[in-house]
Amino acid sequence: MTLLEMTRAKRGRAPRRLSGPAARRGGAGTGASGAQARHVPALAQELIELLDPRPGECAIDCTFGDGGHARLVARRLGPAGTLVAIDRDPLAEERFAQFQREVPCSVRFIRSGYAEALELLAREGLQADMAYFDLGMSWMQVDARERGFSYSYDAPLDMRMDPDQELSAVEIVNSWDERRLARLLREYGEERYATQIARGIVRTRRREELRCTQQLVDVIKAAMPVPAQFAGGHPARRTFQALRLAVNDELGQLDAALPAAWDLLREGGRLAAISFHSLEDRRVKRFLADRARGCVCPPELPICVCGRQPEAELLSRRAVAPTPGEVASNPRSKSAHLRAARKLEVEPR
């Protein structure tokens, strides 16, 4: 049993109280503008247990959001510690202004994609004791109706985490050809009706430009058989996920950022990632498993000739999921999966 499994077993399955500002305000914020909404971090205690931040250490929060995880980490780092916060969303930068007044450690914010920010930190020669990702959208983004992340509100088809970037969802749905759209929906949305939805989008836009989320939701529903519209969650969920991933190049960012974050860690440093769908979790799992693999010689060789040593120790045998108590109090945590590893000393050959 790993350390985390032991602590979870001790805690039992009792519902966990919300922590942070949302708890003080009596629950999750949902409003017309993400500026009011607060984010309730998923798997927060589990993340802290695996990262185990200690006084004086340096942490990189690659997805600062509302700073829910960062607050818990910063408290453990204490006045001698340093926390570097990264986020591409200006709303996160606004939240950081408040955060820095509350926490005891030295802090710094970088508004950028995390792949580029980690490159910058490497050029500066930073070495960190931990780096972590809480992937996907913040509640502030989902609940800011005007940003078009949600299929539940009518809003412009936008979905940009960084409003300064050019590509938005409106451009993808109105300019990508049918095959490219279908491939996007299949690969990034794992959407069974990708071909039909792509065809519906292209047909509709011949008549009128698709500008709003509800126009797109109508096209998606019309492209699906009626029973499928009522099975497996909202019919637009997978298409919206695919568009959001493409608009923000989320998987490309993650592929570049995992090795960059790993390289910034000192020996003994910890890397953790919380994912919310299998496309992300698979990448994290593969990355960490690859670092944790030792000798790769064919089994028929009597001795190791590759000399490969594991660079990582996995901190949990399998992905950590939220307890039923957490899911009950924070339903958006339902699909969260946490994986983490510690960087090992590799002896020179």
Binders of ligand SAM among 15-74, rule CB under 6 A? 39, 41, 63, 65-69
- For residue 74, the 8-state DSSP code is H
Least distance to ligand SAM, CB of residue 139, Å: 8
Q: Which of 150, 239, 253, 329 binds ligand SAM (CB under 6 A)?
A: 253
Residue 238 CA to residue 215 CA, distance in Å, equals 16
Least distance to ligand SAM, CB of residue 99, Å: 10
Q: Which of 46, 49, 57, 89 binds ligand SAM (CB under 6 A)?
A: 89
Q: Is 240 in contact with 318 (CB distance < 8 Å)?
A: no
Least distance to ligand SAM, CB of residue 181, Å: 23
Least distance to ligand SAM, CB of residue 113, Å: 4
Least distance to ligand SAM, CB of residue 67, Å: 5
Residue 151 binds ligand SAM, judged by CB under 6 A: no
Give φ, ψ of 75 to 5 degrees: -60, -40
The number of C-alpha atoms within 13 Å of 103 and in the hemisphere containing its C-beta is 29
Least distance to ligand SAM, CB of residue 153, Å: 19
Cβ neighbour number for residue 312 with a 10 Å cutoff: 22
Q: Which of 46, 49, 87, 326 binds ligand SAM (CB under 6 A)?
A: 87
Local structure of 100: helix, strand or coil:
helix
Residue 199 CA to residue 334 CA, distance in Å, equals 32
Residue 169 binds ligand SAM, judged by CB under 6 A: no
Q: How far apart are the first and last CA of the chain?
A: 32
Window contacting ligand SAM (CB under 6 A); options: 129-137, 280-288, 300-308, 322-330: 129-137
Window contacting ligand SAM (CB under 6 A); options: 84-92, 120-128, 203-211, 332-340: 84-92
Q: Which of 83, 161, 242, 245 binds ligand SAM (CB under 6 A)?
A: 161
Binding residues for ligand SAM, total number by CB under 6 A = 22
Cβ neighbour number for residue 224 with a 10 Å cutoff: 20
Rank residues 46 and 87 by Cβ distance to ligand SAM and give the closer one: 87
Residue 102 CA to residue 108 CA, distance in Å, equals 13
> Which whole-number Å values give the CA distances from 323 to 8, 72, 131, 284, 345, in the listed order?
9, 19, 24, 21, 33
The H or E element containing residue 249 is none
Residue 261 CA to residue 127 CA, distance in Å, equals 10
Rank residues 215 and 241 by Cβ distance to ligand SAM and give the closer one: 241
Q: Which of 134, 191, 280, 281 binds ligand SAM (CB under 6 A)?
A: 134
Give φ, ψ of 92 to 5 degrees: -65, -35
> Under the rule (CB under 6 A), what is the footprint of ligand SAM?
39, 41, 63, 65-69, 86-89, 92, 113-114, 134, 136-138, 161, 250, 253
